[in-house]
Structure 1
C-alpha cells in the first residue's frame, strides 16, 4: 500500500522495456511510435522512453502454476507523490495524429503551448504518471495526487483531476507489458459529467475541443477505466488515442445519445454513465480519421456486431469498481465488477480471440500479422501510413486516467493497481 509499491515473488517479470470526441491505423514500423523500428519520442522534452525488444521475461521460479503478483501499488504512503516540475519543452512526436502531427498540420492546426510533467513512481519506478496542462500557476500535484478515499477516509487512493478540459493525466507502466499478463485496478467515485443536457460537468458550458477540432467539448465528458494501447500512452489531443487502442474499458457521458446501454432486458438509447467494454476491429472497413476503426462492443453477454456502440451497463457515481484486462494464449479478457445502475452487484466479463477477430494491432514483436494485414490507409494520410503493415508489430501498454488535452473535465479515484504474470 506504499507509494513505493511492493514487489512479491523473486523475479521482476516485466520484459526488457519498450516503452478517442472523445469517442471520435497507425503507420508502419518506420513511422509509428511504439513499433520496433520507430524512433522513440518524449512528450515531456526529456529522454525518450525505452522501447521493448520483444524479449520474453524469465518465468518466475517455484510455486504452483497460475497468476503471480509482480507489482502492486496502493497509494498508502502519507508523503505526497513527487511529480516534479512543469516543462514547456517542445514535444517531438512523429505520429501523424500527434498534437503537431502531419494530419493536423495539413489542416493548418498548430498545437498550443502546453506544460508537461512526468515521474516514475512505485517500486523500481514501475508506474509512470504524466500530466499536461495549458493553465499556468497550478502545480502538477493539482492534477494527480494521493488523497483520502471518499468512501473510506482511512484508505488512500490516487485522485486524478482535470480542473480544466485542457488538463490531462494518465498512468501507464514504465515498461511494456510481458507476453502474458493480468492488470487490474479499482476505480471509484467518478465525477466527469452526467450525460444529460446542460453543462455535463464542465464549468462554463462554452468549452471547445480546439485547436484540433472546432466542436464543443461539452457534448462529451468522461475518462478511461483501463485500456491497452499499441504505443506508450501519454496526454494528447483526443484523436490520437483513437488510432492506438487495442481493447478498452471507458466511459463517455454525452448528450444527445449516440450509443445504447443494456438495461438487463433491452438496449436503451442513453449517454448517461455508460461503461463501455470493447475491442477495436482491425479487420472491418469503416470508421474515419477522427474516430479510428469500428468497435467490437461487449454487451448483453456477447460481442456485438462490428460498429455497434453498446455499453455493458451504467455506473453509479459514489461507488468503487474493479476493472481487469488480461492477455493470455492469444485472448484478451476484459471484466468490470461492482454495483451497477441496471444490473446491481455483479461482474461482467468477455473474452475475445485477438488474432481471429483481428483486434487492432494485436500482434506484438516476434508475432506475425497474418490475415490481419491491411495495407489500405486513411485518405488524408496516404499509402505511407497503412492501417496494418505486414511487418508491423506493437507492444501492449495499459493506461488509465484522462488522456485528452481538449476534452473531459472532472475527477476520479484509482487504487490497488496490480500487475500479475503467468507462471507455468
Structure 2
C-alpha cells in the first residue's frame, strides 16, 4: 500500500481475565490476570456523553465527485480505485457509473474532536440518497442522552471517528447501550420482520465492489446476496486519518487492530469457533447465538488469498481459550478454522446493561479490552495485549512515525482479476508512517444494516508521571 504521512477508567467487574496464548504459557505477551487498567494511569483528554443535541441528520448531503479531487479519496482500493479498474477493465467503471455516492462529514463534540461520516448510494440517479442513514440524539430509559446510529438500508454506511489522528499513546473507549445489526434472537435469525437484521426486500447485494473488481455478465441482483452477513465495528483502529464508508474490500488493508461483530451463517464459517471465557473451552460458532465479538490483530507478514490475489491481511486472535493464526486449523485436535470469536454478547440485556470496548496503545503495542455481561461468564472484563512485533509477527502498519519501523516487512502484493492485474509494489516500505484513527459503526457501503446506541466515547492519554 502507498505510505501515508502521519499527522502530527475501567468499569468494575466481577471477573477480569487475561487471555493466554496456550495453557501454561509464560510468554504470551498478555496483560496479567486480574489486572485491569488503573485510573491513575490515564488522564482524560476528550469525552463525549451526547448530552448536547447532534446535528448530523440536518446537515446537507454532498455528492462525492470521486477521483483524487474527492475529499474522501484514499488509495487504489477505495470506491473508484485504480486497483478495481486494473483487475476488471472498463466493466468496473461502467458498473460504478450506475450509481452515485452521497456523503456527510460533520464534526461534533467539544472543539469538534469527533466526526460523523455518513454515506448512502443513489442507485436510481434521481439526485438523492436512496436511504436516510444518520446519527441522532436519543434518550435512554434512565433519562440520560445517547447517540443512535441508524442505518435502515444496507447500501449505506455510518461511522464515528476522531477528527484528528490519535496521539502516540492513548486509551480510547466507548460504551454500547443497544445493538441490532443482526445475529440470532431467541434462537432464530428471523425476528421483527427481518432476517439477520435486514429487511426482506430482494436484490440486497454487494454490487459493484468485489475483491477482484466487476463480475462479467452479472447484473446488480446477480451479485452476492449480503443478507446472511451482518456486523458492526465496536472499536477498530485504522491506519489513515480520515476513515469513511467505502465499498467493503477497502477496509481490509486498513485495519491495525479490530474489535467487531460479524454475524454470518455462511457455510464457510461452519468450522469457526467461539470461546467460552468461563470454561476456557471452544465451541462451534454455529452452536451459539451469533452475537460474538472478534478481537483481532491484523498481521503485517501474512495475507489472505494466495500468490495471485492478495485480498486482505491475515489475522491473529487471542482469547481465554487460546490463540490462533486464522490461516491455520486451531483448537483441540485442530478441529476449528476461520474466525475465533472471543465472547458472545447478550443484546437482550441492553440498554439496562452496557458493554464497554477499549483499545490502548503504549510504548510496546496494543491492548484490546471488552467489559460487560457476556454469555456463559456474566459480568467480566477481558483484556489482551500484543506487542508491535511479537514472536516475529508484526501488527500491520503499527508505526505512527518512520523511526518506529525499519522496513523489514515490506513486500510486493499481486491482485489478479478477470481482466488484469494490479500490483502493490511496496506494502510497508522503510520511511513510511501510518496514523491511528478509530472507527465505531459500519464502514461498508454495500454490507450491513441495523442500528446501535452509543452512550459515551472517551479518549485518555498517559499520566505524565506514570
The normalised TM-score by structure 2 is 0.73
1:201 aligns with 2:214: no
Name the residue aligned to 2:293: 275
Which residues of 2 match residues 145-294 of structure 1 at below 5 A? 145-149=136-140, 152-194=141-183, 199-204=195-200, 206=202, 207-213=204-210, 214-231=223-240, 232-256=242-266, 258=269, 259-263=272-276, 264=279, 265-270=281-286, 272-287=290-305, 291-294=311-314
**CA 244–379 in structure 1, closer or farther in 2 if over 3 Å, else same:** same
- Report if the CA contact (8 A) 2:131-2:153 is conserved: no
1:132 aligns with 2:119: yes
Deviation string 1:195-253 (CA, Å, 9 cap, x unpaired) is 55662111125311111142111120011000000012111011101110000000011
Runs of 4+ in structure 1 deviating by more than 4 angstroms, as ranges, are 78-83, 135-142, 195-198, 287-291, 381-384
**Secondary structure at 2:250's aligned position in 1?**
helix
Q: Give 1:387 deviation, angstroms.
A: 2.3
Deviation string 1:346-382 (CA, Å, 9 cap, x unpaired) is 1111000013331011111233433642222133365
- Candidates 41, 47, 69, aligned match of 2:44: 69
Unaligned segments of structure 2, at least 5 residues: 9-38, 211-222, 328-337
**CA 82–220 in structure 1, closer or farther in 2 if over 3 Å, else same:** closer
Name the residue aligned to 2:2: 28
**CA 397–322 in structure 1, closer or farther in 2 if over 3 Å, else same:** same
Q: Give 1:286 deviation, angstroms.
A: 3.6
Take 2:108 and 2:315, find their aligned partners in 1: how far apart are those partners?
Answer: 33
Take 1:286 and 1:82, find their aligned partners in 2: how far apart are those partners?
Answer: 38
Name the residue aligned to 1:90: 65
**Secondary structure at 2:227's aligned position in 1?**
coil
- Report if the CA contact (8 A) 2:173-2:459 is conserved: yes
1:121 aligns with 2:108: yes
Query: Which range moves more in the overlay, 331-340 or 253-262?
Result: 253-262
**CA 140–178 in structure 1, closer or farther in 2 if over 3 Å, else same:** farther
Name the residue aligned to 1:389: 429
Take 2:362 and 2:74, find their aligned partners in 1: how far apart are those partners?
Answer: 31
**CA 140–417 in structure 1, closer or farther in 2 if over 3 Å, else same:** farther
Query: Which range moves more in the overlay, 314-323 or 66-75?
Result: 314-323
- Candidates 385, 398, 417, aligned match of 2:438: 398
Aligned-CA RMSD value: 2.5
How many residue pairs were aligned? Answer: 367
Name the residue aligned to 2:22: none
- Report if the CA contact (8 A) 1:83-1:119 is conserved: no
Name the residue aligned to 1:312: 342
**CA 146–305 in structure 1, closer or farther in 2 if over 3 Å, else same:** same
- Greater C-alpha Rg: 2
Unaligned segments of structure 1, at least 5 residues: 1-26, 30-34, 37-50, 54-63
Name the residue aligned to 2:84: 104
Deviation string 1:282-333 (CA, Å, 9 cap, x unpaired) is 1135446575111111222543234352001111113220000000012100
Take 1:406 and 1:379, find their aligned partners in 2: how far apart are those partners?
Answer: 21
